[in-house]
A and B are shown apart, each in its own frame.
Chain A
Amino acid sequence: MYTFSSKLKTLSFILMTLGILGIGYGFYAAPKDIQEVEKLLAAESHGGHGDSNHDDASKNEHHETSSSDEKASIDKSVVVSNKGVTTADDSTKVSKENEVLVLTDLTAGREKAHVLTAEEEHTEHLTHVLHQLQNKPWSAFYVACIFFMLISLGVLAFYAIQQVAQAGWSPVLFRVMQGITAYLPIGSIIFFIFLLLCGFHLNHLFVWLDPEVVATDKLIANKAGYLNFPFWIIRAAIFLIGWNLYRYYSRKNCLAQDDANDNLFYKKNFKLSAIFLVFFIVTESIMSWDWIMSIDPHWFSTLFGWYVFSSFFVSAITTIALVTLYLKSQGALEHVNTSHIHDLAKFMFGFSVFWTYLWFSQYMLIWYANIPEEVTYYITRIEMYNLPFFGAVVMNFVFPLLILINTDFKRISWILVMAGVVILIGHYLDFFIMIMPGTVGDRWFIGISEIASVLFFLGLFIYIVFTAMTKVPLLPKRNPFIEESKHFHY
């Protein structure tokens, strides 16, 4: 039996406390009304224009940027071009000369003219910024919450695949995987509560949940048959319950198999895992539309579900590798050898490349065709999130590609830990880039809210996962492949 080291336990409590404090500060520091935003913006404009690249870009391609910003701001139901006013350099000159802003109504492709006085324009801009700033602590929490929950879901999917594939190498790691998926029930509960809070209009993460937006936005109104709160929350409940049921019964059968005289429970698990994998791939796809893609309800992409899957799946395998390495270093996994680690590292490598393949396929198809209604998604990301957007590709592709291609390196613990940490941070960034542009726009920053949310969930994750490890022996007894797995070498 593994005992939870008291140092790690203390660490997890420290992380959770720091996290809660930071999250609380994030909510406290978010502006409450327009007046505060006005002060904030005034302070910003005195302190220089912030991001200078930003200004340059808007000068050079001012037509393109303002139109893309209009699209982004229509997402938030705010009509005024956001950057056009903040940077106040040239894009506003145009609009102020005319005192008229011509806006593209994306819905019908028709042009509507809105006559706005300068003052109304200013107020609308302030409201827009206020919403973004109020969204910031919520989004930070949401990104970390969904990231950790999907990691444990990914481990569950990996575990099910190993069962169905009758893998001969992995049974010594089954208890490790089950331990990591112990986070899933608690993660799901927190996540579900968060979705409920969104539904009760405590935040503006999902614009389509706001009836005012739906009333004025034809595109979203047309999707209301799918994107409406009751249907959405019921779907979420079904998915979360389905995944958790599989986790519960699979673990139960695996433990029952230890004391059984035949392989009945093993066979049950086999069938259960096969059913789960079918359920998983359908729900995973829908989950990615519901929880991530609907943040940008004007945009859609066909391979998005796969893309999200690859992102959390590689993070999940990395997590298995890191936890295994930790337990091994504690002397808790007697039968795990460097060949098992090597196999996990190969999966980390392979799925990093798979993620890149999907990332690039999605990006390149949209870039190449350059259809305005699709391409705004990437324009906002490249213009406002340039460093994290391309940084994620470096961290999730270039770095693992160069480090993990070497066979010998795949057996060296410290190299794997280093690569694993980079991969995990990279995929956190990936989720950050999927969610943040639609909720906070150019008001993003990886500051106290974001880091604190990650720390809180990391602490919770460590606490739950390692507590679950102490409950059962870390080696399954009567798995039909356990002998093969103990002697596995590559």
Chain B
Amino acid sequence: MDSESTSGRDGTAKAKADHGGASRRSFLKSTLALGGAGLAGTAGIRAAQAAGDPLITEIQDWNRYLGVGVDAAPYGMPSEFEKDVVRRSVPWLTADATSSVNFTPLHALDGIITPNGLCFERHHGGVAVIPPQDHRLMIHGLVDKPLVFTMEDLQRFPRENRVYFLECAANSGMEWRGAQLNGCQYTHGMVHCVMYTGTPLKHLLNEAGVKTAGKWLLAEGADASTMTRSIPMEKALEDCMVVWKMNGEALRPEQGYPVRLVVPGWEGNMWVKWLRRLEVGDAPWEQREETSKYTDLLADGKARKFTWAMEVKSVITNPSPQAPITHGRGRTVITGLAWSGNGTIKRVDVSIDGGRNWQTARLDGPSLSKAVHRFYHDFDWDGSELYLQSRAMDEQGFVQPTKNELRAARGTNSIYHNNGIQTWYLKADGALENVEVS
């Protein structure tokens, strides 16, 4: 990819006085330039091969001169050539950047683990900055003995390591009415998957001694939104965790440093960051985040509440609108992610003809419950226009529905829990577009 055509993709989209058609044209132009660059590159390599590729026949700088030493980067960053692999936001989605969201660059990643610095962020009052020695976690309510823990206390509980996906309830929410955002980073990037280290929540609850009447738990954050959610006690005891590490290192500030709640398989809103308080009660609290928000309006005007589990879902991450095919026809790798709040993914099917015919893709890498799964579908692209789709099935037998099936059941104003099948329109020049098909 040449830097010219990618520089416009850094998410800092200049406000254009005259956008509309003009910007659409410029986008199409840059997309075509991308495809062109790929072809020119291939041709260039072929020409060079006749006389010998100078990248091989001539000694390169990196082969002659010394690189930097081991002290150059006490905490390393990705290669400078990967500078476009970054979180991006969509400013018009929210009124203010401190109660907003950004997106994981799924199109550029592989495997099942999301690098910490690329995990999407969702805050309701910005990123709280809390010195770990000043953080306290309180358990009270219907318990035998209300307790206060320091971070040091928490780290003396027995530890466990678990890989889980965290998906925002609103992931793909902008697509309920139709194809809107052009790239899986935007349509599906409110998800990440990391290994957490922490202690099962049941240990902390045991320590305080939950009374028989204690059926619900209120989890609260220490940030300026003082985020709160009600969680049924059965889930709290089943597999919730209180964690302080992700992918081996301390939680990132934007992910709740020094401590957050992990609620496997359930909507990201419940994974309270900067966790400071757990109250045990006999009824749900019906907080703002489970009444006004994170309730799903249906076509008849009723709304579902406590829609906790994230349903079976998948998306082809590459190729996709931000990751066009630049190598021309021939051998092609289609890859993507599948996940389900119900457990593991049993199977992923891929269609290249808009859902007329399907082939079962190859799952590769660990298959962990309530974690993302990586799938591949290898085939020869003949250069024709294709309509790429993926369809996941989970271990409970749930099959990912089409968007139209979801709309038939719910209408278009649910905002949350859109797990419908995504279609990418692959054009002859290798560019792709987010579309809906009949």
Asked whether A and B interact, the reply is no
